[in-house]
Amino acid sequence: MVGGVPAYWLAAGADDPSRVVLYLHGGSYAAGGLATHRDITGRLSRAGSCRVLLLLYRLAPEHPFPAPVEDALAAYRALLLSGVDPARLVLAGDSAGGGLALALLMALRDAREPLPAGAVVMSPWTDLASTAPSLRTKADIDPWLVAESVPREAAVYLAGADPRDPLASPLYGDLSGLPPLLVHVGEDEILLDDAVRVAEEARRAGVLTTLKVWPGMWHVFQLFAGQIADARIALDEIGRFIKAMTPDVRP
């Protein structure tokens, strides 16, 4: 438990235990956990030479918005209280977890609390109002997600809340003052524009943002690192970002 929230530490490649990644998993805010994300977080630990904390935040429908945001805040604050230096901490998340990572950053900034060194978001779900053009333009080629299910999954999580609340849909929030962002998304996925538009908004807000659209890839293709080379290359790139944001301090 970290901050009262169930979590697992993974340290497959923690050459420097002071370097930490807080990982927020995907699954439409209704699924996901150790079974689905053990492999990717272990690989991320090796790629980033860091410890990874996989947070098992509460899930809908039993725990709708804003329960995951509350859990992420509690865990982040607990990490800092335990002695983790925010300058040695990076957030990471995929899909819903990518949106949650951005929401956590905005909540921390608004509370004037220390921000992490950076954040990595893979195929982030940032628009629960489902206005992304790619929901239509990529519907016939996305091999993984079904466009018609996105509004239904959003409604389950929101449970009547405003889909444009920035803590549910970071696309509609003020992104100014956030740390550097690395955004990965697949070219063929229906949530392509969720990632592209939030990266554009972050840049307009003055946030150092790197967006990479991976040709021919689908939603959170990094989960398939055991099968495809592009996923392994992407995780290596993420690892380099983590290390760049949390450089070793040498005398």
pTM of the model: 0.96
Cα-trace Rg, the chain: 16
Q: Are 119 and 184 in contact, with CB atoms under 8 Å apart?
A: no
Q: Would residue 95 show up in a list of annotated catalytic residues for this protein?
A: yes
Alpha helices in the chain (DSSP H): 34-48, 67-81, 96-110, 134-137, 149-158, 192-204, 229-245
To 10 degrees, the CA torsion angle through 2, 13, 119, 81? 30
Per-residue pLDDT tens digits for 193-236: 999 999 999 999 999 999 999 999 999 999 999 999 999 999 99
Active site residue 189: yes
User: Given 95, 123, 130, 169, which residue is catalytic?
Assistant: 95
In whole angstroms, what is the distance from residue 162 CA to residue 110 CA?
19
Helices 229-245 & 34-48 angle (0-180, nearest 10):
60
Q: Give the active site residue among 70, 153, 189, 237.
A: 189
* Non-local CB neighbours of 36 within 8 Å, separated by 6+ positions: 25, 27, 223
Based on the residue annotation, tell me whether 37 is a catalytic residue of this protein: no
Query: Over the stretch 59-90, which tens digit does the pLDDT of each residue have?
Result: 999 999 999 999 999 999 999 999 999 999 99
Which domains are assigned to the chain?
Answer: 7-245 (3.40.50.1820)
User: Which 8-state DSSP code applies to residue 247?
Assistant: P
